[in-house]
Amino acid sequence: MRECISIHIGQGGCQIGNACWELYCLEHGIQPDGQKPSDKSMGCGDDSFETFFLETGAGKHVPRAIFVDLEPTVVDEIRTGTYRQLFHPDVLITGKEDAANNYARGHYSVGKEIVDLVLDRARKLADQCTGLQGFFVFHAFGGGTGSGFNALMMERLSVDYGKKTKVEFSIFPAPQISTAVVEPYNAILCTHSTLEHSDCSFTYDNEAIYDICRRNLDIERPTYTNLNRLLAQVVSSITASLRFDGALNVDLTEFQTNLVPYPRIHFPLVTYAPTVSAEKAYHEQLTVMEITYASFDPANQMVKCDPRHGKYMSCCMLYRGDVAPKDVNASIASIKTRRTIQFVDWCPTGFKGVT
């Protein structure tokens, strides 16, 4: 078994984690108390989901995850929420005072006191794995804990688990939306200090996700719950090939191999299509070709930028659902004929399609 451990850091990381595990449980037919009724066995004997869940002798499924925040409010919501029985109490770790949006507090003063405890919990989770693949680290670049403590944590993980893949899911500060004036400083300090320790970092920004919620889901005033649930769908789709059997299963190292041309350039742009509201979902029929074209539309990107002004170095297309590989190949062949999507000259055919 190729297990993955998820580490959720700071308010942003923990709240996204909450949404992700809620969705994983729904996808795998696991109840909020960790039980999996036999009649709801969705995978029909497929145990690939054990990369993310540990099954105990009593038949309970426990997430291979750690939630860390330097102040208790957000993690307390998990301790008292619907999924309180799902998580092992030892993996919900909190300090007493927050990092106050200050990178230095998260990295040097407050964070230093708690990092050994977190690493000890990570070691215990790693001991329960038969073949640990790597770590997923969820955090926001703008906060003190998400930037400072995350940088410290990544440094220590590199020392203890040097050969394991470390994939980040990071929320970057958005151009127009800001919760703290020091967000750009935290983001720059964190990016600089984690550059050598992260193998692949999927980036998102709140403004782009707000726009998708407004435009595609018809939500007039999106809340963080809406944003996190949309993000959870994206994370779930990225990790689906690790949790389910598919035509072409992807290993954690494969993301890195296919998407990262040079070790320091490891910030792939995430695009998700289609994003359809519940009301419209059963009234629309999209072809593989349409979804493929939509995934190159800047309106569906998780970051506010326009890649049409530049060139692609690599591209990994992950298809989910009842998709035939021949349709994927036809869509990619069609995309290659379009002049709008250009690759750098040293990587002429940088596509990988996975169903």
Residues in the chain: 355
d(CA 309, CA 191): 24
Catalytic status, residue 279:
no
Quick one: DSSP state of residue 302? S
For 141-242, list the strands marked E by DSSP.
165-172, 200-205
For 151-225, list the strands marked E by DSSP.
165-172, 200-205
| Residues 200, 256 contacting (CB under 8 angstroms) | yes
Query: Which one is catalytic: 27, 155, 254, 290?
Result: 254
Angle between helical axes of 73-80 and 10-28 (0-180°, round to 10) = 20
Contacts 24+ apart (CB under 8 A), 116-123: 117/93, 118/7, 118/66, 118/68, 118/93, 118/153, 119/153, 119/156, 119/157, 119/160, 121/66, 121/90, 121/91, 121/93, 122/5, 122/7, 122/66, 122/157, 122/160, 123/160
**Six-digit token string for 312:** 């692609």
Task: State how beta strands 165-172 and 200-205 pair.
Answer: parallel
As annotated, the active-site residues are 254
